[in-house]
Structure 1
Amino acid sequence: MFGFGRGRGKRADDVVEESAEDEAVPERGPFDESEAPKDEVERLDLGSVRLPVPEGGQLQVEVDPAGPVRAVHVVTPVGRLTVSAFAAPRSDGLWREVSGELAEQLRKDGARVHTEEGEWGTELVADSPKAALRFIGVDGPRWLLRGVAAGPAETAEECAKLLYAVLDETIVVRGTDPMPVRTPLPIQLPEAILRHIQQAQQAQGNGQAAQ
């Protein structure tokens, strides 16, 4: 559906010479809307996040019975990716707090959990009976972006690399409205996807009525 149109960004320790104009835009994401690059990367606009969908990825949407979209997943041949944004304080450090709570909950659920230092800091790696999981958090200006890779243990490394690539090109749209810390930023589906879901729900309702 969507492909990556830009290579991986430079790491922080790369030594490069750049013009003053280049310095205005970060070399790698996730990006705040205010500093988003003007590139040719095709991104899926979900309102609070704009993310590229890997080649061959399929969207899976979770919708609450009341109507709001709970989550959007990208299903790939190597696993499932989920990228979500949350309101955060102006100061950094929310991911450190959230990841500690998440690790505790995963252990209570029977998963084996350890931490690794990754591209954006501490990552949680969990082995559960259902899947191999990796949680990545990025603290931004008044937002926290969380990425989750879930899939079979044998493809966990490939799935993690795919998640890194997606996060590296993601744009977060926080908005200016005050929101309680940890509140999920609202997801808005493109009109075409929304129509598809509504048609599928209607067809399912008609099918149940005919039984």
Structure 2
Amino acid sequence: MFGWGRRGKRADDAAADEALYDEVEDLDTGGGPFDESEAPDDQVERLDLGSVRLPVPEGGQLQVEVDPAGPVRAVHLVTPVGRLTVSAFAAPRSSGLWAEVSAELGEQLRKDGARVHTEQGDWGTELVADSPKAALRFVGVDGPRWLLRGVAAGPGEVAKDCAKLLYAVLDETIVVRGADPLPVRTPLPIELPEAILRHIQQAQAQAQNNGQTG
């Protein structure tokens, strides 16, 4: 994984953390997530990852999970209250994929030893799991030919704040499905901004050189 820190307007980490918690407490629903065709003309600064455009919370960091062959597996937002992961998948024209996916996910989590229950949220059924490693919350949003899944993972004592921050990110996320036909459940491709891509390539090259000289 490679990390990328967002540069905030504040000079010190304490002030940035305070701003993050203010953001958690004062959520303003954006009415999203949005399909690209209905993207709002607002002043929200979003990180363009190709299939998703999402806001990065003040004080948050971007972590990119990359396959050895090169494709990006996932992008995570790491915040003081936990890690957020937002992913988009191809879905059928008829809605309802999340109900099917969440049921399978809940079954798998139980097999892995987690305590799982469901809750009703603004977008329908949410999956809440308590595992030995972290408190997890899975939120799914069925859109036009896409499914957006958000995951909040963090310590149990701040799980509520982590969930609220996930809601805020999903509220302002834009999904770019594209016109290409794709099998249902296919992850929509992630495309990294050029600056982040260069950073990852440099880190990979440095790691390879260190391995050769070690």
Indicate whether the TM-score tops 0.5: yes
- Of all paired residues, the percent bearing the same amino acid is 82
Please give the per-residue CA displacement for 1:139-185, whole angstroms capped at 9, x wherever unaligned.
Answer: 00000000000000011000000000000000000000100000000
2:207 to 198, 204, 208: 204
* Equivalent residue number for residue 69 of structure 2: 66
Equivalent position SS for 1:177: coil
2:170 equivalent among 152, 167, 172: 167
* Paired residue secondary structure (1:70): strand
User: Which residue number corresponds to residue 53 of structure 1?
Assistant: 56
Q: Does 1:8 align with 2:28?
A: yes
Deviation above 2 Å: which 4+ runs of structure 1?
A: 1-4
When residues 121 and 2 of structure 1 are mapped into structure 2, their CA distance, relative to the original with a 3 A threshold, is: farther
Secondary structure in 1 matching 2:153: strand
Displacement after TM superposition at 1:2 (Å) = 7.0
What SS does the corresponding residue of 1:157 show, helix, strand or coil? helix
Matches within 5 A, 1:17-56: 28-56=31-59
Letter in 1 for 2:28: R
CA contact (8 A) 1:120 1:138 kept: yes
Go from structure 1 to structure 2 and tell me whether the alpha carbon gap of 1:137 and 1:88 turns closer, same or farther (over 3 Å shift): same
CA contact (8 A) 1:58 1:75 kept: yes
Look up the equivalent residue of 1:98 and give its one-letter code.
V
User: Is 1:81 matched up with 2:101?
Assistant: no
Residue equivalent to 1:16: none
- Alpha-carbon distance in structure 2 between the residues aligned to 1:75 and 1:116: 24
In the superposition, the TM-score normalised over structure 1's length comes to 0.89
Q: In structure 2, what is the Cα distance between the partners aligned to 1:179 and 1:2?
A: 36
Equivalent position amino acid for 1:100 in 2: A
Q: Give the one of 83, 97, 102 matched to 1:99.
A: 102
1:187 match: secondary structure: coil
5+ long unaligned stretches in structure 1: 10-26
Is residue 93 of structure 2 the alignment partner of residue 90 of structure 1? yes
What amino acid maps onto 1:175 in structure 2? G
1:156 to 141, 156, 159: 159
Does the residue aligned with 1:92 lie in a helix, a strand or coil? coil
Paired letter, 2:38: E
- Aligned-residue offset at 1:204: 1.2
Look up the match of 2:143.
140
Deviation at 1:125, TM superposition (A): 0.2
2:126 is matched with 123
Letter of the structure 1 residue corresponding to residue 152 of structure 2? A
What is the TM-score of this pair, normalised by structure 2? Answer: 0.87
Which sections of structure 2, spanning at least 5 residues, go unmatched? 1-5, 9-22
**Matched residue SS, 1:41:** coil
Size of the alignment, in residue pairs? Answer: 193
Distance 1:101 1:55, change over 3 A: same
Distance in 1 of aligned mates of 2:208 and 2:59: 29
Contact 1:2 1:54 (8 Å CA) reproduced: no
CA distance in 2, matches of 1:156, 1:67: 33
Instruction: Select the residue among 190, 193, 204 that pairs with 2:193.
Output: 190
